[in-house]
Structure 1
Amino acid sequence: MKFGLTALLLAGLCSNLVQAAGDSCQHAMTQADMNVCAAKAHELADKQLNSLYQQYRQRLAADDQQRLTIAQRAWIGYRDAACRFETAQVSGGSIFPTIWLQCLTGKTENRIKELQKLLQCQEGDLDCPALQ
């Protein structure tokens, strides 16, 4: 059962990595190469998240900027704790870096979607924090 789950996770990772990290990751055969590709995919997602975060933060009043900072720090704590939990079964194994980075990337991509939605808020939208 563990092998099947790991294989499914790896298959999903590979398809995401091909899109996110380019052609060099399409043919990754070794665990070391897969780890490098997972790191590239995470780096791309993290850069996009940071860019969206800064764009959105600039649209907020000072009080809301502070609230966003607190929320983002809490999200980082959640992301890390959730990924520690979700990757515990492979902890210490050679596949761990790939699975860990896949988890971080997935959570980061979800946060990107949240920030993209917030960036689309219009003034007066009650579902969104007040914009400047």
Structure 2
Amino acid sequence: MKSMAWLVLMAVTLGAHAGEEESTPCDNVETDQQSQACALFSRQTAERELGAAFDELVQRIRDQYPDEGDKVADLTGRLQAAEKLWTGLRDADCKVETYAEKAGTKAFEAAWNTCVAQRSDDRSEYLQSIGQQ
């Protein structure tokens, strides 16, 4: 139960980034089921934002090297390789963070989704910082 209280707190925190104007599953989280829905929503939102941050970085690379296709291809390839490595590290970290929960349970899924959302938010911020002057 201690872990569920932590998940509710994290869900409410993560839900805050979704935007104050629109209603989300992270509004007024009071039950385990609402916490699980919020964690899934947060993960999906964070993964969408991560994809957008990646795409925006690729566009910044293209804009920075408009007439240098070889540099664009090389840097984009490096970025894709880094994302693949980062995904492995994220999953390994989340396996450590969710160790106390039994795999396949709702508590595990909520903890996993919360972990992935947090790591994805961090990675999005990092990707957004690259190439900014």
Aligned to 1:57: 58
Aligned to 1:110: 122
Paired position in structure 2 for 1:127? none
- Assess, with a 3 A threshold, how the Cα gap between structure 1 residues 43 and 119 changes in structure 2: closer, same or farther: farther
Identity %: 27
* Structure 1 position 24, deviation (Å): 4.2
For the structure 1 residues 91 and 119, does the alpha-carbon distance in structure 2 shift closer, same or farther, using more than 3 Å as the test? farther
Paired residues of 2:43 and 2:117 also in contact (CA < 8 A): yes
Which 5+ residue runs of structure 2 have no aligned equivalent? Answer: 62-71
1:15 counterpart residue number: 13
CA contact (8 A) 2:26 2:38 kept: yes
Q: What's the RMSD between the two structures over aligned residues?
A: 2.1
Deviation at 1:34, TM superposition (A): 1.7
Runs of 4+ in 1 over 4 A off after TM superposition: none
CA–CA distance in structure 1, aligned partners of residues 73 and 24 of structure 2: 43
Contact 2:53 2:127 in 1 (8 A): yes
The corresponding residue for 1:76 is 87
Output the amino acid matched with 2:53.
L
Which residue pairs with 1:25 in the alignment? Answer: 26
Matched, 1:88 2:89: no
Structure 1 position 42, deviation (Å): 1.2
1:32-61: per-residue Cα shift (whole Å, max 9, x none)? 222121111111111111011011113331
Distance 1:87 1:24 in 2: 22
The amino acid that maps onto 1:14 is V
Structure 1: 5+ residue runs without aligned partners?
A: 123-132
Shift in CA distance, 43/111, structure 1 to aligned 2, threshold 3 Å: same
Q: Which residue of 1 aligns with 2:42?
A: 41
Amino acid at match of 1:115: L
